[in-house]
C-alpha cells in the first residue's frame, strides 16, 4: 500500500461558529492511521494558504461558509488546480470540489443536523466494508447537484431521497463526502482507512 502521509489538512473554517474545529479531524486521522499500522504525519494550513509542499494526500475540511454564495478563498481554487495526489473533501470540501469540476451547489430548504442513512452505490472505494444503509453524521444546509458535471463526477452514495452523498472525480483519486466522517464514529474511521489505502500497492 502506498503511504499517503504526510497528509495535508486544509482548514476551511472561518471561526465564526467553531473556534477549535481541527481536534476531531486530528483524532480521526490518528485512529485511522493506527488501524493501518502507520505513523501519521500531519501538515496543516488555512484555506487561504500558504500551502506547504511534500504532502502525499489532502483533506479539505467542512466550514461555516457557503460554496453556493461563492464563499471560498481564491488561493484554494488555485491550489485545487495543482493537486496531483489523492484528495478527500468533507462537507464544504465536498461541495467545493464538486463545484470546481462543474457541479451546482444550492441551498436546501432545511438544515441537516444529525445521523442520516445513506445508500451505497459503489462499495469498492470509500465504502469498502461498510454496510448498506449505514448512518453518518450530517450538518449542512447546502447540497450538490451533480447534473451539470455528470461526465466528471461518479456517484458513490446517495441519501434516502436519492441526493448525492459521495462521489469520485472520474479518472482521478479525488473524493467528496457530504457527511462528516470525523464525527461518525467507527464507520467514519472506515471511510478514512479506505481513502488512505487508495493509491495501489
Which residues participate in catalysis according to the annotation?
Answer: 91, 180, 182
Nearest CA to 175 out of 91, 113, 118, 114 is that of: 91
Kindly give, in sequence order, each residue whose CB lies less than 8 Å from that of residue 128, ignoring residues fewer than 6 positions away. Answer: 190, 194
Write out the E strands in the chain.
Answer: 7-11, 42-46, 57-60, 87-90, 104-120, 135-145, 153-159, 164-169, 174-177
Nearest CA to 158 out of 133, 124, 180 is that of: 133
Q: For residue 89, give the C-alpha cell.
A: 473533501
Alpha-carbon radius of gyration of the chain:
15
Are residues 117 and 160 in contact, defined by beta-carbon separation less than 8 angstroms? yes
Are residues 181 and 136 in contact, defined by beta-carbon separation less than 8 angstroms? yes
Amino acid at each position: 500500500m502506498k503511504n499517503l502521509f504526510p497528509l495535508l489538512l486544509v482548514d476551511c473554517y472561518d471561526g465564526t461558529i467553531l473556534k477549535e474545529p481541527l481536534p476531531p479531524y486530528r483524532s480521526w486521522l490518528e485512529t485511522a492511521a493506527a488501524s493501518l499500522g502507520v505513523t501519521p504525519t500531519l501538515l496543516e494550513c488555512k484555506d487561504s494558504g500558504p500551502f506547504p509542499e511534500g504532502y502525499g494526500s489532502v483533506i479539505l475540511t467542512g466550514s461555516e461558509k457557503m460554496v453556493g454564495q461563492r464563499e471560498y478563498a481564491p488561493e484554494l481554487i488555485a491550489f485545487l488546480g495543482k493537486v496531483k495526489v489523492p484528495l478527500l473533501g468533507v462537507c464544504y470540501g465536498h461541495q467545493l470540489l464538486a463545484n470546481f469540476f462543474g457541479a451546482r451547489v444550492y441551498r436546501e430548504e432545511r438544515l441537516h443536523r444529525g445521523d442520516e442513512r445513506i445508500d451505497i452505490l459503489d462499495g469498492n472505494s470509500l465504502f469498502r466494508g461498510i454496510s448498506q444503509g449505514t448512518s453518518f453524521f450530517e450538518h449542512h444546509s447546502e447540497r450538490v447537484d451533480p447534473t451539470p458535471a455528470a461526465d466528471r463526477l461518479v456517484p458513490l452514495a446517495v441519501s434516502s431521497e436519492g441526493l448525492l452523498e459521495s462521489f469520485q472525480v472520474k479518472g482521478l483519486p479525488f473524493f467528496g463526502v457530504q457527511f462528516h466522517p470525523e464525527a461518525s464514529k467507527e464507520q467514519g474511521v472506515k471511510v478514512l482507512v479506505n481513502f488512505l489505502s487508495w493509491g495501489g500497492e
